[in-house]
Amino acid sequence: MGNFVQKLKVIVRDTSLRGRILFVLGALVLFRLLAAIPIPGVDAAALQSFFSNNQFFGLLNIFSGGGLSNLSIVMLGVAPYITASIIMQLSTILSPKLKALYHEEGEAGRKKFTQYSRLLTIPLAVIQGYGLLTLLSRSGIIAEMTFAGMLENILIITAGSILLMWIGELISEFGIGNGVSIIIFAGIVATLPGTVSQLVFAFDKAQIPLYVGFAAAAVFVVAAVVAMTEAERPIPITYAKKVRGGKTSGGIATYLPLRVNQAGVIPIIFALSILLLPQMIVNFIAGSGSESLRGVADALTAFLNNGWFYASFYFVLVFLFTYFYTAVTFEPDSIATNLQKSGAFVPGVRPGAATAEYLGRVLTRITFVGALFLGIIAVLPIAMQAITGITALAIGGTALLIVVSVVIDVIKKIDAQVSLREY
């Protein structure tokens, strides 16, 4: 408790750190204000009924940061930007130039890579906006629009998505934590009162054991996510001794921490983004006049409604994306080169290529544990929903995973800032 009070005093007294935290809070207030401004022609009653019976749009609402639930001007949220980031990172596998830009050209290369992701966000936002507005118009949620009205609304929600992307990047630069993750976190927290009230109104004394089981599972997920986020595999590192002018330096033994879950919650977000795409396509072509397209939509709907297939596909996506994101963000060759340049080595392993191979082998093994954990945690809420029949649990489980990971990340970054100022 005393340590917490001491850190709180540092945060209050330090102008720079206090300013960063206040900037994040101010940006989130602005985001929530934008999320409360609806686009024209929305039927509020039909919208509420539609969302209460549609799990797909409940998941999509998570990525919009809660802006989709009232069809606000930021209804697309950061989903187009996340999709653009996924496409760009997948492209590093196919394009050696993009891979070199991301890994070998330093900060300037990463800035250019990020700029490409921003530019790709614009056409993706237009496509997603058109598909979403068309689907909602067919469902009677919004009034039928003329071409000019459709174009106006597409421009509005595209601009809203770009604005939200910019706010997220400002949070990352001038605040604390990852801006996009914090926006998703804020949207989830904003929807918590509605989710809780839905569970309270649907309360049945006969289901008390189910609610107790859900609460126990939630505590288990939180504890497991915290434990897995903090888990790491230390790689021993020794710096060679150097003698210069009669003075000896080096010879220090330390370690390189390899996290069991290097990717964090990113694989979950990636997998959900991929899963949402076919569902949006199905909803879009279901109202088509073509019998062949409707047949395809029915086949995809049958697949997506099959809980076992859906959960299995979700698990495989999370598992693969964990390996993929870890491979993109962690380069054993670069680590080995940097260790060799600084005169460090892993005891019992030759510097250079052998060290890179050793690091890659260890990372592959521990990532298997992290990927398996994320996959199980991701499909656990779906299993609970299948057992209990409570739709809110599937959405709440995914949201809980994101919230816990974001909170841990922000707390660790605040601790790092406080420790820096204490020293």
- Considering the domain 204-408 in this protein, what is its CATH number? 1.10.3370.10
| Tokens encoding 303 | 């697949």
Lowest mean pLDDT among 220-224, 251-255, 412-416: 251-255
Query: Residue 162 has what pLDDT?
Result: 92
Highest mean pLDDT among 42-56, 64-78, 322-336: 322-336
Domain residues of the chain, as ranges?
A: 1-201, 204-408
Residues 6+ apart with CB under 8 A from 404: 221, 222, 225, 226
Q: Please give the model's pTM, rounded to 2 decimal places.
A: 0.75
SS3 169: helix
Q: Same topology for domains 1-201 and 204-408, yes or no?
A: yes
pLDDT mean across residues, the chain = 77
Q: How confident is the model at residue 207 (pLDDT cuts 50, 70, 90)?
A: low
Q: How confident is the model at residue 227 (pLDDT cuts 50, 70, 90)?
A: confident
Q: How confident is the model at residue 167 (pLDDT cuts 50, 70, 90)?
A: very high
DSSP string, 75-138: TTTTHHHHHHHHHHHHHHHH-HHHHHHHHTSHHHHHHHHHHHHHHHHHHHHHHHHHHHHHHHHH
Q: How far is CA 139 from the centre of its chain?
A: 29
Query: Residue 35 has what pLDDT?
Result: 84
The DSSP symbol for 306 reads -
Q: Let me know: does 369 contact 388? Beta carbons within 8 Å.
A: no
Cα 190 to Cα 51: distance, rounded to the nearest angstrom:
16
What 3 state SS string does 258-297 have?
Answer: EECCCCCCHHHHHHHHHHHHHHHHHHHHCCCCCHHHHHHH
Lowest mean pLDDT among 94-108, 200-214, 328-342: 200-214
The DSSP symbol for 390 reads -
Q: How confident is the model at residue 20 (pLDDT cuts 50, 70, 90)?
A: confident
Q: Let me know: does 141 contact 46? Beta carbons within 8 Å.
A: yes
Identify which has the larger pLDDT, 399 or 125.
Answer: 125
Strand partners, 255: 236
Identify which has the larger pLDDT, 141 or 375.
Answer: 375
Predicted confidence (pLDDT) at residue 2 exceeds the cutoff of 80: no
Quickly name the fold that domain 1-201 has.
Preprotein translocase SecY subunit (1.10.3370)
Query: Residue 122 has what pLDDT?
Result: 92
Q: In this structure, how many other beta carbons lie within 10 angstroms of the beta carbon of residue 68?
A: 26
Predicted confidence (pLDDT) at residue 339 exceeds the cutoff of 70: yes
Query: Residue 179 has what pLDDT?
Result: 85
Identify which has the larger pLDDT, 321 or 199.
Answer: 321
Q: How confident is the model at residue 170 (pLDDT cuts 50, 70, 90)?
A: very high
Instruction: Express as a percent the part of the chain with pLDDT over 70.
Output: 74
Identify which has the larger pLDDT, 39 or 278.
Answer: 39
> Per-residue pLDDT averaged across 237-261, rounded?
72
| Tokens encoding 10 | 């540092």
Query: Residue 56 has what pLDDT?
Result: 59
| Tokens encoding 385 | 């929903």
Query: Residue 348 has what pLDDT?
Result: 83
Cα 320 to Cα 323: distance, rounded to the nearest angstrom:
5
> Per-residue pLDDT averaged across 6-16, rounded?
75
Predicted confidence (pLDDT) at residue 199 exceeds the cutoff of 70: no
| Residue 101 vs residues 94, 106, 115: alpha-carbon distances, Å | 13, 8, 12
Residues 6+ apart with CB under 8 A from 271: 314, 317, 318, 321, 378
Cα angle at 114 between 108 and 116, to 5 degrees? 110
